[in-house]
Amino acid sequence: MDWPILLGIAVALAMDAFAVALAAGITIDRMTGRHLFRLGFHFGLFQAMMPVLGWLAGLSIHRWISAIDHWVAFALLALIGVKMIREALVDAEEKPVRADPTRGWSLVMLSVATSIDALAVGLSLAMLEVSIWIPAAVIGLVCGPLTVAGMLLGRRISGFWGQRVEIVGGLVLIGIGIKILLENL
């Protein structure tokens, strides 16, 4: 596989992760290096693992995965987006401490949701009989830094616009889920 094509695929796959990281950067009150590392590492890891899983699965389960992958991505992104919007609309007095999107089930769900497209890329590469190891590594190594950049940009944006940006971030996640769903229906 040519390097320009491989880098193009890696950047394209990382765009969902970048957008989700932007929304996550908006929701974190005091962002630390740990937040950046956790989200960047996990998004990069999942983006690298999913093509390998897709490649290993090959054609044997392609029909089953392609029938539901877009629904899974949509459901996960919509769930987290609605949660972000709901939290932004709660009065400051009633507002509990915000959940950290770089921890627990939120982190796992976001990692899976943003990397399902990479699973399809792995299936495609298996059909083309292309080795998966270098593409998977490049995809993960591109996604990690773009995730961190998205979080940092989200942090800067939230300083200017406050809670309204959290609502926009939730809408962006729902929009990404709808986009994935519509592209696959």
112-129 per-position pLDDT tens digit: 988 887 887 887 777 677
Does the pLDDT at position 24 exceed 60?
Answer: yes
The answer for residues whose C-beta is within 8 angstroms of residue 28's C-beta and 6 or more apart is 35, 98, 100, 101, 102, 151, 155
How far is 100 from 128, CA to CA, in rounded Å?
40
Residue 49 pLDDT: 96
Residue 125 pLDDT: 77
Residue 120 pLDDT: 77
Q: What is the DSSP string of the chain?
A: --HHHHHHHHHHHHHHHHHHHHHHHHH-SS--HHHHHHHHHHHHHHHHHHHHHHHHHTTTTHHHHHHHHHHHHHHHHHHHHHHHHHHHHS-TTTPPPPP-TTSHHHHHHHHHHHHHHHHHHHHHHHHTT--SHHHHHHHHHHHHHHHHHHHHHHHHHHHHHTHHHHHHHHHHHHHHHHHHHHHT-
How far is 27 from 2, CA to CA, in rounded Å?
38
Average pLDDT over residues 33-39: 94
57-103 per-position pLDDT tens digit: 875 666 666 677 677 767 766 776 787 677 777 754 455 555 678 88
Does the pLDDT at position 180 exceed 90?
Answer: no
Mean pLDDT of the chain: 81
Q: How large a percentage of the chain has pLDDT more than 70?
A: 79
Average pLDDT over residues 141-157: 92
How far is 183 from 177, CA to CA, in rounded Å?
10
* Tokens (6 digits) for 19: 């957008």
Q: Where does the pLDDT of residue 47 fall: very low under 50, low under 70, confident under 90, or very high at 90 and above?
A: very high
Q: Structurally, how many domains does the chain consist of?
A: 1
Domain of residue 172: give its range.
Answer: 3-183
